[in-house]
Each structure stands twice: as structure tokens, then as C-alpha cells.
Amino acid sequence: MRNAPTILHLDMDAFFAQAEQASKPSLRGKAVVVGGLGPRGVVATASYEARVFGVHSAMPMAQARRRAPNAAYLVPRFAFYRSISEQVMGLLRELSPLVEPLSLDEAFVDLDAGGAAWDSDSARLAGIRLRADIRAVTGLTGSVGLASCKMLAKIASEQAKPDGLVLIEPGTERALLGPLPVRTLPGVGPATGDHLRRAGIATIDEIAEAGEDELVRLLGKAHGHALYAMALARDDRPVVAEREAKSVSVEDTYDVDIHDRVRVELEVQRLADRCVRRLRETGLSGRTMVLKVRRYDFSTLTRSETLRGPTDDPAVVREAAARLLESVDTTGGVRLLGVGVSGLADFTQEDLFAQAAEERTDGPEEEPAEEPVGEVPVPVEHQWRPGHDVRHAELGHGWVQGSGLGRVTVRFETPESEPGRVRTFRTDDPGLEPAQPLPLVRRRLEGDGGGDGSASVPPVPGLVSDAGPRPESESSARELSAERISYTE
């Protein structure tokens, strides 16, 4: 434990929903729900206006629609959120070299390591500046918690929500934690909370009073010791800038159970390719291939196979996934499929022999196959997803409000415009095409640099001012897609 609150925890407020509201002037101040929109979709994020109706993350989307029927329901734009997250993480790294991202919208920062803070006053000032910088660069708000350890900093940021800052002074930790419910502590979920409640333990003070031996008896050695230490505000975990990835996986849930075995096989191959792309984005390879299948009756089967060496070859991963699928009975129907890779490394077995293989290749190169002449190209069929960006040849930039029955409804507005007008088109209208998101903030505040008092914000990958086409390739049958990278603590 430190004697100064120099651990900062940042949590962006309702990140996905807030980004959508900032991007779409007509949704500001209104209930917005982001997630999978099909009957099996779940809520990824709900705006604070939607939370008033009891909508929250991980809730089934059907239940959310019953509670907030007039909310705007949008499909996530992960590339857009990731680009904003990169801006925010860049601001955090200006404060300290020790930044530990937990997700796209959440991170710990060791202010002391960067010399950004050394006592309560300097820590509070750093937090105030950070929130102002995030607002200036992204147009969004974040909540900041400051404390002497990671656990307390995260609790402080929760108390600061939305758009606030809470600093826990060293020496006041026990008094602050005491009356809080046991679910406040990390690692105490619904099951553990109910178990403690049945034992007469409802607050953190009561955890401390119960004693370490009683907690070990109730919860087991590891969990009992850890929970008792947290109740006494003991947390010596350092902020770790780089964490070793344990696995990379992708999965999809389907609106309608898949019964056709050929379709299941094709979906597994597609997931294997996506998993490889995620591997290569992180510069990793893996030895153990994992297949996950959730069947019609909610039973979940997992199959795995370990190769002789790590790989990021899509053909190898596809073949391994296909072999694993052979041992799974899917005749009753499949509602979820996933492909993952674990046993990660930062090299591939093939790399060791690639150069020698190239040197042994002395035959003539294959001539590329000639493209058939006279074939008429098949037009691309766009999928118009609610919330996604489009551009019309005459009306400019807008976003999809909804589609169906051969029609797509678009609201034409930009982050800097007034709420825009709505128009409906045929889904195959030649003047309408998918587009990339526009920047949320084009210029910094007046006087923040530049001779004319308006310095441009640095360009961000994935955000453009002149949006171009961005074709969609995912199946409309798939709902909110999960792409996961797991890390060691």
C-alpha cells in the first residue's frame, strides 16, 4: 500500500452508447442501447437515459425492449470504439509509462511512475487535467478514481460515475469500505454474495469481523484469504503495462439454431479465419486449438487439440477446427460456435524453416490463372445495420435508423451538425453506400494551439473526414460477435 493516492483508474461512461450519442446529434439526451438486435442478442452498453428504465449490460435484448420500447437500438461499431480507445490510451501514456488497459474503456495508471503525481493535491490535479483532455480530444466523458491501490481506485471510479472524480485519502480506506455491500469487492459475484449473505455477512465490515479463518471455511483457502485482505484494504498488486495473453478466441451466437451440418462446417471455417486474423493482429501464434459448441438445449461442449508447434497459418487452424468438429453431434441444432487458440507464443514453428524452404524452391513460378472474360460482375449486396454509417451521393453522410422489406431509413447528420432529416431508400439504391465513421471532434478548443486558435486533432485510424465505402461481410444471422483476448494477471 502506498502513502499517496497515485494509482488512477479511468472508466469511460457508458462508452459504446456515449460514443453513439456523440456521433449522432439526434440521439443526445435520449435512451440508447447498443448490442445484438436479434431475439438472442444481449445488451453491450446502455446509456444512462436507458438505465433509468432498468436496462443494463448483459441483459437479453428482448427484455431491454420491453423495459425501454422507445429507446434507440443500435448494432455495435467495434472499429469505431477501438479508434476512440486508442486516443484515450494515448492520453494515459502521456501521464505515465505504466498503463494497464483492462478493456477498450477502462485502465489503471501509475501516476508516480511517470512523475505526474506524488501526493493528494498533485494526483487530484492530474485527474482533473486528464478528464479535460479526454473531453477535448474525443468529446466524451470519463470517470476517474484515485487511491493508494488498484482495488480502491476502481471502487472510487465507480462512485464517481458519471463524469466525476473521487479521491480516497490514505488512512480513510477502512472507514470508506466498511458500510459498502460485499458485492463491491472484486471477485464477489452473485453466487459468492448469496453464500456470504446466508452466513450473515452483508457488508465489508462484517467480512472483517468474521475473520480470516471463517472466510476460508466458507469460501476455500485462496478465495477466503484474498477476500479478507481486500476487506482490510490490502492490495499490493502493481500496475502492469504489458500482460501476457493466454488465449485468443472468437465466437458467434445465431438467431436461429443451425441444423444443416454443411452450414455448421462453413461457420467453423469462417470463425477459424477470424481467429487467425486476431492472432496476427496481436503478433502471436498458438499450439492448442479449441472448438466451442453450444447446442439447442444450452449444453456447451468444448474440444481441443494441441499441435507440435505454434502456428498462425489459417489453413492449419481451419483443419484443426474441422477435425474437432467431427467429434461433435450437431443434429439437434447449434445456437453458438466459437474457435480459440491458446498456448500462445510470439513466433511460429514454420518461421524456423521458411527460409530453407524458399532456398530449396528452384522450379519455375506458377503462372497466375487468367481471369474469365465476358463475365458480368455480381453487384455487392449491402447489409444496412442500425447505427452504422452510410453516405449518399447527393445528401452526404448519415446513419441507418432501420431497414426491412426492401427499404432502408437513413438520418443524415454528422457529429458537428444539428439533428438531421430522415429519408427512406430502396436497399439497392445506387446512390447509397456504407461509409466510415466521422471524427467526433474535428478541432480543439480555441487557443489550444495553432495560429488561428484552432489546432486540428491528430488523425485517428478508422476515422475519416471524407467517408468512403466500407462493405460489410458478416452474415445478418449473426448477432453481437464476441472477440476475446484473455490475459494473465
Phi, psi values for residue 131, rounded to 5°: -60, -40
User: How far apart, in whole angstroms, are the C-alpha atoms of residue 272 and residue 280?
Assistant: 12
Cell numbers standing for residue 224: 477466503
Q: Residue 182 to residues 56, 222, 228, 230, 407: CA-CA distances in angstroms? A: 20, 17, 11, 10, 51
CA angle 382, 387, 391 (to 5 degrees): 55
Sign of dihedral through CA atoms 72, 82, 140, 149?
positive
User: How far apart, in whole angstroms, are the C-alpha atoms of residue 202 and residue 205?
Assistant: 8
DSSP run (H or E) holding 102: strand 99-103
Phi, psi values for residue 443, rounded to 5°: -135, 150
Instruction: Identify the residue whose cell numbers are 488512512.
Output: 171
Secondary structure (DSSP) of 280-291: HHTT-EEEEEEE
Report the 10 Å Cβ neighbour count for 457. Answer: 18
In 3-state terms, what secondary structure has residue 381? coil
Cell numbers standing for residue 107: 485502465
21 near 415, Cβ under 8 Å? no
145 near 154, Cβ under 8 Å? yes
> Prior bond to 76 cis, omega within 30?
no
413 near 431, Cβ under 8 Å? no
Q: Is 106 a catalytic residue?
A: yes
N-terminal to C-terminal alpha carbon distance within the chain: 18
User: How far apart, in whole angstroms, are the C-alpha atoms of residue 460 and residue 137?
Assistant: 11
Give the CA-trace dihedral at 308, 311, 315, 316, to 10 degrees. 20
Q: Residue 427 to residues 380, 400, 408: CA-CA distances in angstroms? A: 11, 11, 6
* Choice among 20, 49, 100, 106 that is catalytic: 106
User: How far apart, in whole angstroms, are the C-alpha atoms of residue 389 and residue 435?
Assistant: 5
Burial code (b: 16+ CB inside 10 Å, e: under 16) for 303-328 equals beeebebbbbebebbbebbeebbeeb
Q: Which residues are catalytic?
A: 106
